[in-house]
Amino acid sequence: MKKYISLFVVLSMMLVVSTGVARAENDNNGARLGELKLKAEVKGDRDEVRAEMRLQIETTREEAKQKMETLRERVREETDKVKARVKEMRIVGREKALERFDNAVERISEWQIKVEAKIAELEAKGVAVATAKDFLATSETKLTAAENKIVEINAVLAVSIDELTAENKTKLRTLAEETQTLVVEAHKALRDAIKSLKDEVRIKIEANAKVEAETEDDEE
């Protein structure tokens, strides 16, 4: 994540230094406005679909958490203190495992929001952002897939207080590995998006500097 921060600092510094990127071409204002409105409508549809998917995931995960809480209530009814302690530790261990996955997903999700905002900011300044958008979309797809895997993990862990069967242990191990892979891929796609933005900002600055230099030469 520290790499992300440094990249955003670089982008910010480059934008401050550049005066050319911040200028808008008056002749293209009308066409540009229409283009931005169309993109806003498309983005709105995409955000709505994404919100619906996230709501479904959150609902399913909440149901699994409720099942886990029901299991905890059953532990409290256990008269054998030793057995109760073992079962309680089992539930705590499962909850911590799920929490680690949730935290990883949340961090990536927060960075996606920041990258999306940076893309919108740079696009408004005339920077090419198509490649960065593709990487961001890939990251979002990977993260959604990871969240669905976590829902499956929730379902496996919330079935019973008892020790997992060999079959469920194998299933859980596979789901955990797949989730980790998806999170890593979502992370990488975000890094690629930021790198793309950095490259495009540099290209824009160099192009503007060249135009300004040529204009000055013509005036002389």
Using one digit for the tens of pLDDT, what is the confidence trace for 88-108?
787 788 888 888 888 888 899
Torsion sign over Cα 164, 92, 73, 59 = negative
Instruction: Compute the C-alpha angle 78/81/82, nearest 5°.
Output: 115
Cα end-to-end distance, the chain, whole Å:
48
Considering the chain, what is the average pLDDT of its residues?
76
Q: Is the confidence at residue 113, as pLDDT, over 60? A: yes
Quote the DSSP letter at residue 42. Answer: H
pTM for the full predicted model: 0.68
pLDDT in tens, 56-91: 777 777 777 777 777 777 777 777 777 777 777 877
Please give the C-alpha separations between residue 189 and each of 118, 122, 132, 133, 173, in angstroms, as whole numbers: 15, 18, 9, 10, 24
pLDDT in tens, 204-214: 998 888 877 76
Q: pLDDT band for position 9 (50/70/90)?
A: very low
Where do the domains of the chain lie?
Answer: 56-201
Instruction: Report the share of the chain in percent with pLDDT over 90.
Output: 32
Instruction: Compute the C-alpha angle 180/186/42, nearest 5°.
Output: 140
Q: Distance between CA 142 and CA 96 in Å, rounded? A: 23
Note the pLDDT of residue 116: 93
